[in-house]
Every structure is written in structure tokens, then in C-alpha cells.
């Protein structure tokens, strides 16, 4: 049993020396390249709707949040919601605008 504990202690010391050498190499090397800071206003979506012989323009401003994949969306009425890009497209662009029937449809 004593032999196994000596081997384990030797392995622990060896691994600690390797970790220390790796950390020292990281500290001595060049600093990592960081990306540019993300602007507060990330996207502006402008939707122009020409249905029913009138022109409706809607603006959506998308601001950054603490999460990577979500935005704080503010529309022209000042309504604010936290939402992801795919859900924004589904809710605002597909469901907010009324669908009209084609004049060429059979039904």
C-alpha cells in the first residue's frame, strides 16, 4: 500500500508542476485578442407594408441585453419586450401583419 501512495503523490506533484508551467507560459505570452465591444443598439428593422392601398411603416429597434442570443425590442409605440431573433421574426413579422387572400385563389 505504501508503494501506491508514493506513486500517487509523485503523480500529483508532477501534474501540479505541469499546471504551473502551463500557467507561467500563458502569463509570459502575448495577451489574447478581445473582440470589439458590442454597441448598445444592435439592429434596426424597418418594415414597409403596402397592403390595402396604403403604406404602413413600422420601426423596431433592437438593443443588446446581458444574454448573447436575445434583444430588447422597442417598437414605435414604445412597447419593450425581451426576445430572441427567431421569435422576433415569428411574432412581429409573421403574425403582426394581416394576411390577405390572393385574388387569383380558387377558394
Q: Show the cell assigned to 93.
A: 413579422
**In a shared domain, residues 53 and 24:** no
**In a shared domain, residues 54 and 10:** no
Give the separation between CA 10 and CA 106, rounded to whole angstroms.
83
**In a shared domain, residues 58 and 84:** yes
**In a shared domain, residues 54 and 91:** yes
**In a shared domain, residues 20 and 52:** no
Give the separation between CA 42 and CA 70, rounded to whole angstroms.
11
Closest to 84 measured CA to CA, from 106, 64, 105:
64
The string of pLDDT tens digits covering residues 85-105 is 888 888 877 776 767 777 777
Burial class (CB in 10 A: 0-12, 13-18, 19+), 84: middle
- Of 75 and 96, the structure prediction assigns the larger pLDDT to 75
Say if residues 88 and 96 touch (Cβ distance below 8 Å): no
**Residue 73 CB neighbours (<10 A):** 22
**In a shared domain, residues 53 and 88:** yes
Q: Write down the mean pLDDT value for the chain.
A: 83
Domain that holds residue 61: 41-95
User: In this structure, is residue 102 part of a structural domain?
Assistant: no
**Residue 71 CB neighbours (<10 A):** 22
Confidence of residue 2 (pLDDT cuts 50, 70, 90): low
Average pLDDT over residues 9-24: 88
Say if residues 46 and 56 touch (Cβ distance below 8 Å): no
User: In this structure, is residue 23 part of a structural domain?
Assistant: yes
Average pLDDT over residues 54-70: 88
Q: Give percent of the chain with pLDDT exceeding 70.
A: 89
Amino acid at each position: 500500500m505504501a508503494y501506491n501512495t508514493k506513486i500517487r503523490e509523485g503523480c500529483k506533484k508532477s501534474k501540479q508542476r505541469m499546471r504551473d508551467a502551463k500557467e507561467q507560459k500563458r502569463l509570459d505570452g502575448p495577451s489574447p485578442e478581445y473582440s470589439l465591444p458590442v454597441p448598445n443598439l444592435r439592429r434596426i428593422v424597418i418594415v414597409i407594408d403596402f397592403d390595402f392601398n396604403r403604406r404602413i411603416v413600422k420601426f423596431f429597434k433592437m438593443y443588446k441585453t446581458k444574454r448573447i442570443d436575445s434583444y430588447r425590442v422597442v417598437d414605435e409605440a414604445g412597447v419593450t419586450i425581451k426576445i430572441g431573433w427567431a421569435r422576433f421574426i415569428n411574432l412581429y413579422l409573421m403574425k403582426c401583419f394581416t394576411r390577405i387572400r390572393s385574388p387569383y385563389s380558387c377558394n
